[in-house]
Amino acid sequence: MFDLLLIPALVSTSVVFVLTRLPWIIHQQAHVFRQRALRLVGILLLAVLASCYLAQSAPLPRSRVPSRRVPLLSFSPDASSLPALQSREQSSDWPTYHHDNARTGYLANEPDPKRLVHAWTAQLDGAVYAEPLVIGERVIAATEGDSLYSLDARTGRVQWRTNIGHPVPLSTLSCGGTIDVLGITGTPVYDPASRLVFAVAEVSGPKHLLVGVDVNTGKLRVKRQVDVPHMNPPRIYLQRPALALSHGMVYIAFGGLADDCGTYHGTIVTSQTDGQGPLLSYQAPTRDSGGIWGPSGPAIDQDGQVYVSTGNEDHISGNWDLSNAVLRLSPDLQLEDSFAPTQWREEDTGDQDLGSMGPSLLPGGLVFIAGKAGLGYLLHANDLGGIGGQAAVVSVSGLAQGGTATVGSQIFVPCFDGLRRVLDAPGTKLAVDWHAANQITLPPIVGGHTLYSLDLGGTLYALDTGTGLVRAQLSLGIAVSHFATPTISRGRVFVGTYKGVSAVTLAGGTNPKAPGNPPCNGYLAYPFEKMTISSSPSISILAKWNSMKEEARAFSVIYYCGRMRITIGFYTLLREQYQIANYDTVGRVSPNIYGDKQGFAKYL
């Protein structure tokens, strides 16, 4: 009983201290320090709650790979984790796979539509496997015909086309596979510093060329071969993963063709954006395979650390060799840390790649990964955990492939039998929430409070992120590739198809973000069953007790404004329905608590 009384007293003291200092901070340097004050509130609340509520777990088995701990608070997937120099004002652009280097696939300021309306279709010189990019009013598309296109986002008119070379027919490689012909498969990346679009093209030889093309004119500015010596022969390597950009370097990952046709190893290569200097690389030390092939590609945190996942090795007989793993690499591609599931050997021999999607970076220094085995793992970015050292694990039931979308603690996972929403719950836990219709299987993105995904027949679905129910749908009339993922920007959705690019207008909706307020979302821990958020005139959280009407002595709210995580804990005996907390537009907490006849016990 003493502990229960001590918890709210300790946390109350911390919150009161922060809130009493906020007016002085805002008065002295309102513009400069407003965001720092917000972060201070979030950090203090998280630190105190973690010390109160999180139990220490027993040490887990470690791998033999050296682990270099990085500061937990050094990672936050905010504007600095986007491609270099991108500002918040430019965030309506879509410069890389799933928008940013954390691979969130999320834009807050997009409308929630009632209807999807076909805008235009552009037929190009080959299939588009890569996710389209959007830079201003330009849609950048890459084709298996080895061409890069700039299309007018409003009309689909071709503004320029740059052909890199001759694509490679699958029949010339003496290999099986699912893509024929092979040209540009991985999603390009845009560098706002140089205003170049970078892509990797497979051309006759065969060989893989990194190119940098001027976004305004299509003129070729950079060109170099990126088949490093230990990628021999180049014909057995497939550049499917999305490219990534960080601190003036382009990162390029390779796996093998769908039907393995030689002894290859998962490899990642990096080049300076000017095309000069040596190529740096890392290759997984597998006997065979262990490809880095997930379409979402490497994720990169704001300090430049690179996170990749590897696939299975069919013929492993000895110790773990970093197949079926998540790896953290330094910016110059030195191995720093690793994770593998406890059952890594079974997944290796059963073709259950953990590397069927790339890692996603979450707030609070967390990493999410799921694979073909149907399990999702939550990892600490600064200490991945070695073998079996995950922070949490959850069954997503379905085989997961492609790339996730994330909004704060919500993780939207593409599975072969329908999308799932997974929640990163308080106390570093994972829980599956809703499950979408079985045909909605491809990698999703989120705009506002609407999730967008496709089926293989080319139907685009708009789903409510809170319930998984379909808001609207539209058949594009053209099939899409196995890992096709849409792009959203300025009220339009763009989809790469087997024939080119189709554009869809979001109609009849409203913008979910009230002027002046940050985009917010969150959820409550058990025993609450429902939460709604309003954003005008202030941001409020309203919760409803579950039908069992059980008493709770402690619970917490995980709450996000933008990409900042705030955790608020409560010690309470409340029932029925209450307004739990109220935030003004700069995120200060104003107590506004209501309870039934039992009254309110303590507000933290």
Task: Determine contact, residues 111/509, Cβ cutoff 8 Å.
Answer: yes
Number of domains in the chain: 2
Task: Determine contact, residues 442/483, Cβ cutoff 8 Å.
Answer: yes
| Tokens of residue 343, six digits | 């059952």
Within a domain: residue 66? no
Sign of CA dihedral 279, 99, 295, 335: positive
Domain span at residue 42 reads 2-57+513-603
Write the CB contacts of 15 (distance below 8 Å, at least 6 apart in sequence).
Answer: 41, 44, 45, 589, 604
Residue 132's pLDDT band, with cuts at 50, 70 and 90, is very high
121 to 133, 447, 482: CA distances (angstroms): 16, 21, 20
Q: Give mean pLDDT, residues 388-404.
A: 92
Residue 132 carries which DSSP code? P
Within a domain: residue 72? no
Q: Give mean pLDDT, residues 278-291.
A: 92
User: Which is nearest to 244 in space by CA: 309, 281, 284, 190?
Assistant: 190
Sign of CA dihedral 553, 580, 431, 429: negative
* CA–CA gap between residue 100 and residue 133 (Å, rounded): 11
* CA–CA gap between residue 37 and residue 21 (Å, rounded): 9
Do 403 and 552 belong together in one domain?
no
Give backbone dihedrals phi and psi of 417, rounded to 5 degrees, phi first: -115, 25
Residue 459 has pLDDT above 90, yes or no: yes
Residue 511's pLDDT band, with cuts at 50, 70 and 90, is low
| Tokens of residue 336, six digits | 């720093």
Within a domain: residue 118? yes
Q: Give mean pLDDT, residues 323-334.
A: 97
Average model confidence (pLDDT) across the chain: 77
Q: Give mean pLDDT, residues 138-158.
A: 98
Do 34 and 106 belong together in one domain?
no
Q: Give mean pLDDT, residues 122-147.
A: 98
Residue 165's pLDDT band, with cuts at 50, 70 and 90, is very high
The last residue of one of the domains, among 466, 489, 507, is 507
Within a domain: residue 75? no
What pLDDT does residue 508 have?
A: 86
Helix, strand, or coil (residue 43): helix
* CA–CA gap between residue 538 and residue 352 (Å, rounded): 47
Residue 25 has pLDDT above 70, yes or no: no
Residue 263's pLDDT band, with cuts at 50, 70 and 90, is confident
Do 16 and 93 belong together in one domain?
no
More confident residue, 361 or 180: 361
Do 461 and 597 belong together in one domain?
no
More confident residue, 237 or 551: 237
What pLDDT does residue 494 have?
A: 98
Q: Give mean pLDDT, residues 87-106.
A: 84
Pairing of strands 267-272, 280-283: antiparallel
